[in-house]
Structure 1
Amino acid sequence: MGWENSGRMPKTAGPASFEVRDAGGPVELVSGPPPYYSTEQQQLPPRRGNMAYAQTKTPWWNARYWRKRTWAIVVTIIVIILVVCIVAPLEVAKANKYPDYTALNYTLSDSYNGTTFFDKFDYFTGYDPASGFVHYVPQEQAESLNLTYTTTDSAFLKVDTSVGPTSSPDASTGRFSVRVTSKTQYDSGLFVFDVKHTPYGCGTWPALWLADPDHWPDNGEIDVMEAVNNATDGNQMTLHTTDQCTMDVKRKMSGSTLTADCYNATDDNAGCGVSDAVSSYGSTYNEADGGIMAMEWRAEGIRLWAFGRDGIPTDITNKSPDPSTWGEATADFPDTNCDIGSHFKNQSIIVNIDLCGSWAGNVYAQSGCPSNCTDYVANNPDAFTNAFWEFGSFEVYKAS
């Protein structure tokens, strides 16, 4: 059989009729229009999963079709990527920042030693600015009480042990002691302190330090050796400054950080301190004949080294010190977050032995000491037989 393939319905005047035959004869008479078959492909409705449906969706990668929520997500992702790629490396670089302590050539510029040791110092007279329980005496009285004296090899600075509760006058308003300040002031340098004996005992607060007493804290303070009472915690090395000087940065040192903010108005003027081993101060230190405290002060930072008597570098002994060969410092105060040049200047070397006061007095009860600080200091002169400094020499080197 064949049908007209015209592309449209056949036009007829009436119903068509036809007869179907088979081999056995006529079978059935069929009338009506013949069926129509078009050559055009019939369009099917789109279904999910087939190609036709996929072609009707907007492409995800075309930003013109994004909604506000999509844009917000994309922007957030971009910000996170920027933080990771830009800010994070900057923070890592900041955390790893460290000054370049290039070796400097030092030559001796000043020396304190022998029988003329105290000739280069002024004696502070009067009550203690740190609220200590002492009377700082002038040079004549200090020498008459044997509180300062020298030999060819050593200089001594002591607390009075002669005045007791039955003396007249007694020590009820404070015990005699000494505080000396170098006449020369410094702005940098390498300082080598030969320390043979450190003061200790209940109620004591001794210190070897540098500061500008007339402009404190504006010109800073560097504590080289400091301890209180029986000095069971070892030596502490500390900076005290005005604002914007912190040590929460990369440091290279063997000592332990106590505090990181050097600002004097923080933590009751605790400063940014570093502690050394127990043997670095007090009875154990003295029994080993002391040692050398060396302090390098330069624009890149302030570093301190503690050398035992048996471990003093030969370049110090030969008066040609080279800190670049000394290894890791005991205390390191880099200039990373502290402008050393603006915070430290016009420094004098100061040595004193305070009693009680704002540090030793405040921790007296926790130090295992008897009575209370002022009563003990006033009534027990024999308790201060170990409360004295003995120095071999002080040497100051300048970079050339």
Structure 2
Amino acid sequence: MLSQNFFSILIALKFIPTALSQSYTQNAHFKGRDFFGAFNWETFDDPTHGRVNFVDQGTALNTNLSYADNDVFIMRADYHQIVPSYARGRDSIRITSHDAWGDSLLILDLAHMPEGCATWPAYWTISKNGPWPQGGEMDIIEGVNLNSNNLASLHTTTNCTMPQTRDQSGQVISTNCDAAVNYNQGCGVASTTPNSYGSGFNNNGGGWIATWRSPNAISHWFWPRNAPNVPDEIRQGDCGVVTPGDNWGTPDATFVWSQCDYNSHFDPHQIIFDLTLCGDWAGNAFPTAGCGPGNCQDFVDNTPDAFQNAFWEINSLTIYTPQS
């Protein structure tokens, strides 16, 4: 008799995304100063309890925490000031897109991501309707402290899990996407592609991250800057029509719907870039991350020079939607 695991594998492989030929038309393209008009600079308290003070756009511009030219957009944490103990935290940035997208293809050309002890950067999407976790969360780039491998994950309401075996090159970290399970770990896949996160990513000049969201699967690809197999439409970054295909190779991470109803767990999402410091993940991991001595909050408050490399440098972000 065939095992239940065998049938799960067959179901997962049924949804190999590169087997499809759906074409996508460019819906939005953000480059340089475009980000200032298309995103909102959030100022609320960090919901993950980080040692940060998210500032508005005017403050960010006046203090050079956000700046751009025609080709590059940069946002960062402050690396000049000692932070008093009574302050909310070190000045930093969290931006959220005005618009939201459902089924789509996101292509990010990223030159540099925040790195270093106490950092917790993320490029992610979340339901515009909410409230969280309704409508789902999709983490595309995420890591903490001195991590070297990117983590992609989903966070959902109940009854959403992933099969262990999927069409991906990454390593399964967890399979239950339910945000109420295991302290909101979600279902995660760690990239095994070299230079996918942190200083390795930055020292290599960054690369391209493509995210394909559809009723068949959510898949993530990462191509390092010097990779010989970067598809032409990815390297160009501003095409009218893109069709994901076999030339994209195996995704770093794939999330399929054999054990999760897509339509009831995911709706249109806004795009978020943020940089928090310490907090629920980076703070808890700080003591064993090779960042000591001392605790995470003291490190953030008293070592501003440590955050010189804590910045996002984005070449472009392009969103494509299904061609009718």
Structure 1 length-normalised TM:
0.74
Question: Residue type matched to 1:359 in 2?
Answer: W
Aligned to 1:323: 244
Which of 295, 303, 309 does residue 380 from structure 1 map onto? 303
> Whole-Å Cα distance in 1 between the matches of residues 75 and 147 of structure 2?
18
Aligned to 2:203: 287
1:386 offset after TM fit, Å? 0.5
Which of 57, 68, 71 does residue 150 from structure 1 map onto? 68
Aligned to 2:267: 345
- Contact kept, 8 Å, 2:21 with 2:244, in 1: the verdict is yes
> Whole-Å Cα distance in 2 between the matches of residues 212 and 131 of structure 1?
20
- Contact kept, 8 Å, 2:208 with 2:234, in 1: the verdict is no
> Whole-Å Cα distance in 2 between the matches of residues 155 and 91 of structure 1?
46
State whether structure 2 residue 177 is matched by structure 1 residue 262: yes
> Whole-Å Cα distance in 2 between the matches of residues 340 and 310 of structure 1?
35
Which of 26, 32, 39 does residue 121 from structure 1 map onto? 39
- C-alpha spacing 1:162/1:105, structure 2 compared with 1 (3 Å): same
- Contact kept, 8 Å, 1:246 with 1:261, in 2: the verdict is yes
Equivalence map 1:62-101=2 (5 Å): 84=1, 88=2, 92-97=6-11, 98-99=14-15, 101=17
- C-alpha spacing 1:359/1:254, structure 2 compared with 1 (3 Å): same
Aligned to 1:305: 221
The C-alpha deviation readout for 1:57-114, integer Å capped at 9, x for no partner, is xxxxxxxxxxxxxxxxxxxxxxxxxxx4xxx477643431122642101110111112
Equivalence map 1:17-56=2 (5 Å): none
> Whole-Å Cα distance in 1 between the matches of residues 16 and 54 of structure 2?
42
- Contact kept, 8 Å, 2:74 with 2:314, in 1: the verdict is yes
- C-alpha spacing 1:105/1:382, structure 2 compared with 1 (3 Å): same
- C-alpha spacing 1:201/1:92, structure 2 compared with 1 (3 Å): closer
3-state SS of paired residue (1:267):
coil
Which sits farther off after the overlay, 111-120 or 141-150?
111-120
5+ residue gaps, structure 1: 1-83
Aligned to 2:188: 273
1:231 offset after TM fit, Å? 2.1
- C-alpha spacing 1:170/1:162, structure 2 compared with 1 (3 Å): farther
> Whole-Å Cα distance in 2 between the matches of residues 310 and 95 of structure 1?
33
Aligned to 1:361: 283
Aligned to 1:112: 30
The C-alpha deviation readout for 1:112-166, integer Å capped at 9, x for no partner, is 112222210011113101111111111111111111111111110100112115x
Question: Residue type matched to 2:10 in 1?
Answer: N
3-state SS of paired residue (1:391):
strand
Higher gyration radius (CA): 1
State whether structure 2 residue 138 is matched by structure 1 residue 217: no
- Contact kept, 8 Å, 2:9 with 2:166, in 1: the verdict is no
Question: Residue type matched to 1:96 in 2?
Answer: L
- Contact kept, 8 Å, 1:172 with 1:378, in 2: the verdict is no
State whether structure 2 residue 113 is matched by structure 1 residue 183: no
State whether structure 2 residue 47 is matched by structure 1 residue 136: no
- Number of corresponding residues: 310
Structure 2 length-normalised TM:
0.91
> Identity of paired residues, percent?
36
Question: Residue type matched to 1:393 in 2?
Answer: S
> Whole-Å Cα distance in 2 between the matches of residues 280 and 91 of structure 1?
30
- C-alpha spacing 1:275/1:89, structure 2 compared with 1 (3 Å): closer
Question: Residue type matched to 1:310 in 2?
Answer: N
RMSD value over aligned CA atoms? 1.7
- Contact kept, 8 Å, 1:171 with 1:379, in 2: the verdict is no
